[in-house]
Structure 1
């Protein structure tokens, strides 16, 4: 009886050990690939305020979402984002745009009170996802404001990038879409490089002190004198 029970115990121990190894298998973490942008050389280049950059709510999570054939989104079991995807997007956009504009004067919103931008980029990313059988898709809108705060350009765009299906390939494809976005954005910003200076408002002239209005004088009414005599009896 003991001989028959021993193989069963060994088999059960092996299965439990295998399950333990599977449960503790580390999940790969991914970051967007920012490429190798050149470091800007101009310290006095174009001043750009990047943001606010808004990212769709469904992307505000740790899981790497997978687009399914029916259009639904499912969290990947074997992949996670390493940190905040929104913060990762900000850094990729900032470094790529600074390199393409060759300017060190790029700041993420909100900026310091003393920073006066030549251009402000308002960017909204409504979609950035992919799936094993779906290409990476980026949908976004940008608006460009000039020095005086006037709207100079606005654009909606949709970009696609094919990949080979693995999570690593999907992340690489999404990174390439962000770099394509920056490439088009830099082209749209270039015409604003040589803006005329904003005319300063003249200082208001000092106003003369307002004199209080004088009330009209009302003549005093005195007692009326009469030349008639009063007779008493």
Structure 2
């Protein structure tokens, strides 16, 4: 019993020391919007950005890694600091605002009373990378004018190389979003100042004149047929 007490005390001390050892914190990443300048114009073209639809597999905090066989695994050394979809919205909004030199960009669903000249509908179906795979962005965008008519549409696939680390992969993905914003801005600019199509005012049709009542017609009297008088008379 005397020999067991020091051993038990030693084990308790070791367990206490082990509890004080913390695992290293997992790095958290955000997309980089670059260094866009604040637009110089207080006004500018009015753009409604969105809805921006992001693929389901990207709507999580896990930083996914594309493997050589095409599969996706969770990165052991990093994760997203918050919502990746919200980061994408902010990167595109700041980049477009700078490239269009306009303060009047609003994320969908927009604000009351805001009438956009252009609406950007965007679907991002892929945005990922891996230690041995480049960063890839696949998306489709459509541009609607203020009348809701489709003015432009395009499928996009962009690639960016990186050094393999998680931090450099996030940098490469951020670069791809900035390139996408550059293409969008180039497509939106020609639609600035488009005239509003006004339909000609149609005059209300004059009310139709009421149909005249038919005058009563006199009753038709049957015509008497003439009586034949050319009857032969025989005498004896």
Residue 130 of structure 1 deviates from its aligned partner by 0.9
Match of 1:203 in 2: 201
Match of 1:100 in 2: 99
* C-alpha distance in 2 between matches for 1:103 and 1:2: 78
Residue 190 of structure 1 deviates from its aligned partner by 2.2
State how 1:1-233 maps to structure 2 within 5 Å: 1=3, 5=7, 9=11, 12-13=14-15, 16-17=18-19, 21-22=22-23, 25-195=24-194, 197-209=195-207
Deviation by residue 1:174-203 (Cα, 9 ceiling, x = unmatched): 1111001111211222222243x1231233
Find the residue that maps to 1:164 and give its secondary structure. Answer: coil
Taking structure 2 as the reference length, the TM-score comes to 0.80
Unaligned runs of 5+ in 1: 222-233
* Structure number with larger C-alpha Rg: 2
* C-alpha distance in 1 between matches for 2:175 and 2:5: 62
Unaligned runs of 5+ in 2: 220-236
* C-alpha distance in 2 between matches for 1:81 and 1:217: 89
Aligned residues, how many?
217
* C-alpha distance in 2 between matches for 1:30 and 1:127: 18
* C-alpha distance in 2 between matches for 1:217 and 1:26: 102
* C-alpha distance in 2 between matches for 1:130 and 1:174: 8
Deviation by residue 1:101-129 (Cα, 9 ceiling, x = unmatched): 10111111112342222222111111001
Superposed structure 1 runs of 4+ greater than 4 Å apart: 1-4, 209-221
> Closer, same or farther in 2 for the Cα pair 1:15/1:77, shift >3 Å?
farther
CA-atom RMSD, angstroms? 2.6
* C-alpha distance in 1 between matches for 2:65 and 2:197: 51
Taking structure 1 as the reference length, the TM-score comes to 0.81
